[in-house]
């Protein structure tokens, strides 16, 4: 348990603005957060609060105007290739089979070809998708595609997994199903995860800690620790404390919205 205290992802004072119509348009106004080793952390905020920008900065696709990003304890501002990523849309390659989608992504970032193929086949079997391994992605349902997309992120040999609203495009039933599935997968693997979501229930069900973001320009309005023990079941929403947590997050979000209107 010596790893427990180690910070896998650290953002300190991240500032970013875009020029829009010739004027600077601030998106992130000093965001600081951290994800510990084997910790599941969620970012929740209204739409347009710069969460996607934050991910692009963590992924090194863009550089912040100010602030520092550390991944695995090392300075990583503007550096690519340190995280694994699960986007909102499954983003599977339509010309590759399910299995090849996983192994191709792994070899694109340097995993040996044979090893990548072996891992893809083995893990598809482990999650009960071996029957779909040779199918093209369009033959799969939305939920199935997201399972494959998650597996692709999980197998990537990186310190931090970034999940960008992975279930936003799914219907409510599939979504609940996928949350339970993800919870089970994560309990077994205990990777360091940063999840972005709009759904308060999703955040509480899955996370160890939750950061609540304000509307743009975003800053952290509050940080909550989710008290439910691990391993956790997907029906924690039945706990009385669940409602209390939900209310606290809601009031933080409302406070953020009110402050913005006051400006």
Using the contact rule CB under 8 A, the part of the chain among 88-96, 175-183, 234-242, 247-255 near other proteins is 88-96
State phi, psi for 67 to the nearest 5 degrees. Answer: 105, 165
Q: Does 72 bind other proteins (CB under 8 A)?
A: no
Q: Which is nearer to other proteins, 17 or 101 (CB)?
A: 101
State phi, psi for 15 to the nearest 5 degrees. Answer: -120, 135
Q: Which of 26, 46, 72, 87 contacts other proteins by CB under 8 A?
A: 87
Q: How far apart are CA 170 and CA 199, in angstroms?
A: 12
Q: How far apart are CA 35 and CA 255, in angstroms?
A: 25
Using the contact rule CB under 8 A, the part of the chain among 43-51, 89-97, 187-195, 201-209 near other proteins is 89-97
Q: What minimum distance in Å lies between the beta carbon of 56 and other proteins?
A: 7
Report the first-to-last Cα separation within the chain, whole angstroms: 46
Q: What minimum distance in Å lies between the beta carbon of 45 and other proteins?
A: 19
**In the window 106-125, what residues touch other proteins (CB under 8 A)?**
108-109
Q: Give the position of tokens 């010309």.
A: 95
**In the window 156-185, what residues touch other proteins (CB under 8 A)?**
156, 162
Q: Which of 72, 136, 201, 223 contacts other proteins by CB under 8 A?
A: 136
Q: Which of 25, 95, 114, 189 contacts other proteins by CB under 8 A?
A: 95
Sequence-distant (6+) residues with CB within 8 A of 44 are: 196, 197, 198, 199, 200, 203, 210, 211, 212, 213, 249, 253
Site for other proteins (CB under 8 A): how many residues?
A: 26
Answer whether 66's CB lies under 8 Å from 13's CB.
Answer: yes
Which residue from 142, 19, 164, 27 is spatially nearest to 85, judged by alpha carbons? 164
3-state SS class at 178 = helix
Q: Does 96 bind other proteins (CB under 8 A)?
A: yes
Q: Which of 55, 123, 211, 242 contacts other proteins by CB under 8 A?
A: 55
Q: Which is nearer to other proteins, 86 or 200 (CB)?
A: 86
Using the contact rule CB under 8 A, the part of the chain among 91-99, 192-200, 219-227, 252-260 near other proteins is 91-99
Q: Which of 6, 56, 70, 246 contacts other proteins by CB under 8 A?
A: 56
Which residue from 206, 129, 162 is spatially nearest to 51, judged by alpha carbons? 162
Q: Which two tokens stand for residue 173?
A: 């039933």
Sheet hosting strand 209-213, strand order edge to edge:
83-86, 160-164, 192-197, 40-44, 209-213, 220-225
Q: Which two tokens stand for residue 84?
A: 């694994």
Q: Which of 36, 59, 64, 67 contacts other proteins by CB under 8 A?
A: 59
Chain residues binding other proteins by CB under 8 A are 55-56, 59-61, 80-85, 87, 89, 91, 93-96, 104-105, 108-109, 136, 138, 156, 162
């Amino acid at each position: 348990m010596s790893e427990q205290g180690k910070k896998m992802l650290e953002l300190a004072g991240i500032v970013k603005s875009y020029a829009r119509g010739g004027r600077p348009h601030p998106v992130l106004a000093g965001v600081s957060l951290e994800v510990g080793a084997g910790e599941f952390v969620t970012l929740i905020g209204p739409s347009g609060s710069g969460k996607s920008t934050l991910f692009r900065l963590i992924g090194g696709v863009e550089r912040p105007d100010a602030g520092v990003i550390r991944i695995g304890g090392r300075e990583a501002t503007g550096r690519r290739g340190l995280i694994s990523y699960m986007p909102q849309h499954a983003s599977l390659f339509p010309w590759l089979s399910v299995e090849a989608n996983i192994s191709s992504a792994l070899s694109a970032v340097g995993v040996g070809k044979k090893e990548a193929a072996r891992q893809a086949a083995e893990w598809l079997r482990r999650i009960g998708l071996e029957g779909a391994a040779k199918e093209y992605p369009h033959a799969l349902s939305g939920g199935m595609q997201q399972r494959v997309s998650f597996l692709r992120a999980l197998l990537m040999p990186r310190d931090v997994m970034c999940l960008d609203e992975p279930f936003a495009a799914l219907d409510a039933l599939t979504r609940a199903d996928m949350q339970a599935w993800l919870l089970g997968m994560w309990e077994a693997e205990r990777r360091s995860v940063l999840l972005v979501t709009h759904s308060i229930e999703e955040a509480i069900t899955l996370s160890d800690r939750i950061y609540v973001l304000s509307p743009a320009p975003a800053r952290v309005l509050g940080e909550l620790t989710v008290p439910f023990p691990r391993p956790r079941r997907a029906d924690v929403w039945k706990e009385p404390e669940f409602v209390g947590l939900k209310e606290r997050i809601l009031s933080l979000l409302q406070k953020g919205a009110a402050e913005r209107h006051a400006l």
